[in-house]
């Protein structure tokens, strides 16, 4: 199956590089190989693997239809655009077999392409009523397209064309990838499922993409569901009762599961069996094949501790500037465009470090390049796209700036519920999509009383803002501190022996002035008279 995926990547690169001849040849080779594999195998598990490979081909076919340059590929393969527009899994695998009509090949395709000599099943159409049977003529009814049941898990087929399919294509997260490679290799050697895995990271770092890659590396079918759809124990039991073969089950936002649902799911992971009560009040138990559960969460702490301990935890880290630049270049390379270093830095800087956002930007910038007939993406092209959608130099959009302005205008902290009512943005999006990046930039803080804007955030919202310098109120120790500072500022003069002894002077008793004796008074008067005579002379 690995060679099929590499061939798929080669076909996509040929398509985006406008190499139609190579794309036609590789696509025909892939179709022929899939036809041989699927019709020749008898084992249900192997047939399921071939089925998964075919499903991976559908996004490629859909992308061929949308690209005018690859019309040559469509014509060379004789693909039916209507089939490409609405592929149906039930239409592909209605009878557990594959024929050339599945891919919209012309009816004149040689039967020799099917080595098992299985004749294609004709498409059943509704018989047209005659005039005697039906007085009013009815228009011909098209063949109805069956739709999957809502409780039936869907396989991973509708992939994004720019998303990586294998670990070698996944950029960054080297520690997580190294551990996965060892675990996957060991599981394959022992022919057992991979250990249940919990992928933890902040918003948009590639948890779902990594789960799809694990399914591809393990060559196993992939079932995906959001935890919000598993509202209670009954819906959880019904969902897992649909599992028939070894597979990988992916639950996104797994922390949203209620505690009782987590407890039941823990027993399912332990016993590989699911039980529930039917409408007749009977308990029905289904034994499940060994499978791997992969959960994705931004709040691992919300999970019950016994349930959390059941997983091998993978933590995805923020991408470095170098890794973001590599991701940007790879996206544009897959679309067949060159990009300058300045444009790479511009896209990476505004992406918030989220690969999903980089992919969205890349597709929009490509559309502008196509409209302007530009063959090489420059910073002028990227700036035109970002100006069109009001995305500033740090990647902040209208909602981010609105949040900051509300905080700046508020005289007190704002609670999350209040912010939800003021902005109209759901509190989950506020808490996990907008606030983490604003906090990372240092524009806002979360306190016990609510959200507050920082001085840096005020300056960003209003460049003319000048912080008000307010004098701090005097405290009781302020005079003492000022006196101590004055003493430290004065130069230190060495004290003399008399000065060193001076502190002991206050300890001596102070004597009252004594009345002079008559002899002392006579001496003093004589001295005064002498002074007066000297002054007169």
* Higher local confidence (pLDDT), 491 or 21: 21
Q: How confident is the model at residue 525 (pLDDT cuts 50, 70, 90)?
A: low
pLDDT tens digit sequence for 24-45: 777 767 766 655 444 454 555 5
CB-based contacts of 154: which residues, under 8 Å, 6+ apart? 89, 148, 223, 224
Please say if the pLDDT value at position 47 is more than 90.
no
Kindly give the interhelix angle for 398-409 and 416-423, rounded to the nearest 10 degrees.
120
The SS3 of residue 43 is coil
Mean pLDDT of all residues in 448-456 = 93
Determine the pLDDT at residue 246: 87
Q: How confident is the model at residue 163 (pLDDT cuts 50, 70, 90)?
A: confident
Please say if the pLDDT value at position 266 is more than 90.
yes
If you average pLDDT over each of 108-117, 129-138, 428-437, which comes out highest? 428-437
DSSP character string of 297-352: ES-GGGS-HHHHTTSEEEEPPPPPHHHHHHHHHHHHHHTT-EE-HHHHHHHHHHTT
Q: How confident is the model at residue 388 (pLDDT cuts 50, 70, 90)?
A: very high
What distances in angstroms separate CA 425 from CA 54, 431, 433, 454, one per listed residue?
40, 10, 10, 21
Q: What is the separation, in whole angstroms, between the first and last Cα of the chain?
A: 135
Strands 451-453 and 444-446: antiparallel
CB-based contacts of 306: which residues, under 8 Å, 6+ apart? 266
Distance of CA 73 to the CA centre of its chain: 35
Determine the pLDDT at residue 137: 46
Please say if the pLDDT value at position 343 is more than 90.
yes
Tokens of 445: 């803080």
**Sequence spans of domains, the chain:** 2-113, 167-315, 321-388, 398-461
* Higher local confidence (pLDDT), 310 or 498: 310
- The domain 398-461: what is its CATH number? 1.10.10.10
Provide the annotated active-site residues.
207-208, 252, 298, 356
pLDDT tens digit sequence for 99-110: 333 333 333 333
CB-based contacts of 213: which residues, under 8 Å, 6+ apart? 164, 165, 166, 167, 169, 170
- Residue 192 is classified by DSSP as -
Please say if the pLDDT value at position 255 is more than 60.
yes
- With 0-12 / 13-18 / 19 or more C-beta atoms within 10 angstroms meaning exposed / middle / buried, residue 100 is buried
Distance of CA 233 to the CA centre of its chain: 28
- Contact between residue 48 and residue 245 where contact means Cβ atoms under 8 Å apart: yes
* Higher local confidence (pLDDT), 33 or 98: 33
Q: What is the CA radius of gyration of the chain?
A: 40
Q: How confident is the model at residue 203 (pLDDT cuts 50, 70, 90)?
A: confident
Tokens of 226: 């959001």
- Contact between residue 156 and residue 51 where contact means Cβ atoms under 8 Å apart: no
Pick from 148-162, 274-288, 464-478, 507-521: least confident: 148-162
Mean pLDDT of all residues in 498-509 = 49
Determine the pLDDT at residue 106: 32
Q: What is the mean pLDDT of the chain?
A: 74
If you average pLDDT over each of 62-76, 240-254, 295-309, 458-472, which comes out highest? 295-309
Determine the pLDDT at residue 516: 55
pLDDT > 70 fraction of the chain, expressed in percent and rounded? 59
Per-position b or e across 333-356, b if 16+ CB within 10 A of its CB = ebbbbebeeebbbbbbebbbbbbb
Please say if the pLDDT value at position 67 is more than 90.
no
pLDDT tens digit sequence for 77-89: 554 444 444 344 3
Q: What are phi and psi of 231, to 5 degrees?
A: -75, -30
Q: How confident is the model at residue 55 (pLDDT cuts 50, 70, 90)?
A: low
Q: How confident is the model at residue 279 (pLDDT cuts 50, 70, 90)?
A: confident
Tokens of 119: 């004749």
Mean pLDDT of all residues in 349-371 = 93
What distances in angstroms separate CA 316 from CA 207, 325, 440, one per listed residue?
8, 18, 17
C-alpha angle 39-40-45 in degrees, rounded to nearest 5: 85
Please say if the pLDDT value at position 75 is more than 60.
no
* Higher local confidence (pLDDT), 128 or 482: 482
Mean pLDDT of all residues in 423-441 = 91
CATH topology (fold) of 321-388: Helicase, Ruva Protein; domain 3 (1.10.8)
CB-based contacts of 41: which residues, under 8 Å, 6+ apart? 47, 50
Q: Report the alpha-carbon distance of residue 219 to residue 213 in Å, rounded.
A: 10
Mean pLDDT of all residues in 275-279 = 78
Mean pLDDT of all residues in 13-22 = 69
Q: How confident is the model at residue 52 (pLDDT cuts 50, 70, 90)?
A: low
Tokens of 153: 């898990």
CATH topology (fold) of 167-315: Rossmann fold (3.40.50)
């Amino acid at each position: 199956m690995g060679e099929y995926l590499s061939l798929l990547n080669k076909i996509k690169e040929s398509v985006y590089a406008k190499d139609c001849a190579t794309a036609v040849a590789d696509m025909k080779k892939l179709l022929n190989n899939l036809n041989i594999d699927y019709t020749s195998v008898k084992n249900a598990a192997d047939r399921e693997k071939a089925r998964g490979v075919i499903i991976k081909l559908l996004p490629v076919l859909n992308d061929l239809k949308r690209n005018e340059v690859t019309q040559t590929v469509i014509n060379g393969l004789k693909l039916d655009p209507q089939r490409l527009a609405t592929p149906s899994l039930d239409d592909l695998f209605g009878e557990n077999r594959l024929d050339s009509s599945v891919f919209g090949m012309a009816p004149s395709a040689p039967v020799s392409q099917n080595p098992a000599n299985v004749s294609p099943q004709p498409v059943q159409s509704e018989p047209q009523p005659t005039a005697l049977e039906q007085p009013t003529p009815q228009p011909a009814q098209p063949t109805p397209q069956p739709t999957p049941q809502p409780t039936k898990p869907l396989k991973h087929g509708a992939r994004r064309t720019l998303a990586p399919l294998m670990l070698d294509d996944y950029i960054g997260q080297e520690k997580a990838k190294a551990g996965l490679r060892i675990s996957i290799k060991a599981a394959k050697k022992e022919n057992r499922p991979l250990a249940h895995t919990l992928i933890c990271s902040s918003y948009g770092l590639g948890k779902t993409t990594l789960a799809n890659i694990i399914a591809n590396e393990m060559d196993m079918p992939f079932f995906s569901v959001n935890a919000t759809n598993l509202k209670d124990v009954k819906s959880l039991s019904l969902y897992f009762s649909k599992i028939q073969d070894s597979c990988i089950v992916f639950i996104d936002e797994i922390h949203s599961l209620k505690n009782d649902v987590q407890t039941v799911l823990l027993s399912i992971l332990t016993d590989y069996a699911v039980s529930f009560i039917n409408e007749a009040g009977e308990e029905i138990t289904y034994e499940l094949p060994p499978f791997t559960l992969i959960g994705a969460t931004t709040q691992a702490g919300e999970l019950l501790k016994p349930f959390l301990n059941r997983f091998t935890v993978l933590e995805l880290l923020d991408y470095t500037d170098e890794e973001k630049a590599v991701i940007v270049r790879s996206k544009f390379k897959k679309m067949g465009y060159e990009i300058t270093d300045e444009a790479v830095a511009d896209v990476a800087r505004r992406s918030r470090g989220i690969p999903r956002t980089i992919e969205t930007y890349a597709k929009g910038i490509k559309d502008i390049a196509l409209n302007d007939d530009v063959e090489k993406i420059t910073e002028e092209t990227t700036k035109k796209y970002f100006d069109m959608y009001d995305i500033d130099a740090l990647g902040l959009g209208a909602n981010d700036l609105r949040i900051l302005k509300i905080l700046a205008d508020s005289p007190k902290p704002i609670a999350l519920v209040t912010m939800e009512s003021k902005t109209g943005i759901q509190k989950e999006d506020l808490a996990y999509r907008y606030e983490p990046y604003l906090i990372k930039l240092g524009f806002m803080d979360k306190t016990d009383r609510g959200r507050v804007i920082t001085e840096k955030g005020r300056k960003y919202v209003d460049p003319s803002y000048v912080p008000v310098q307010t004098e701090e109120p005097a405290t009781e120790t302020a005079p003492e501190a000022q006196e101590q500072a004055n003493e430290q500022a004065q130069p230190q003069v060495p004290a003399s022996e008399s000065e060193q002894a001076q502190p002991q002077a206050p300890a001596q008793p102070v004597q009252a002035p004594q009345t002079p004796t008559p002899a002392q008074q006579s001496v003093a008067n004589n001295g005064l008279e002498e002074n007066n005579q000297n002054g007169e002379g």
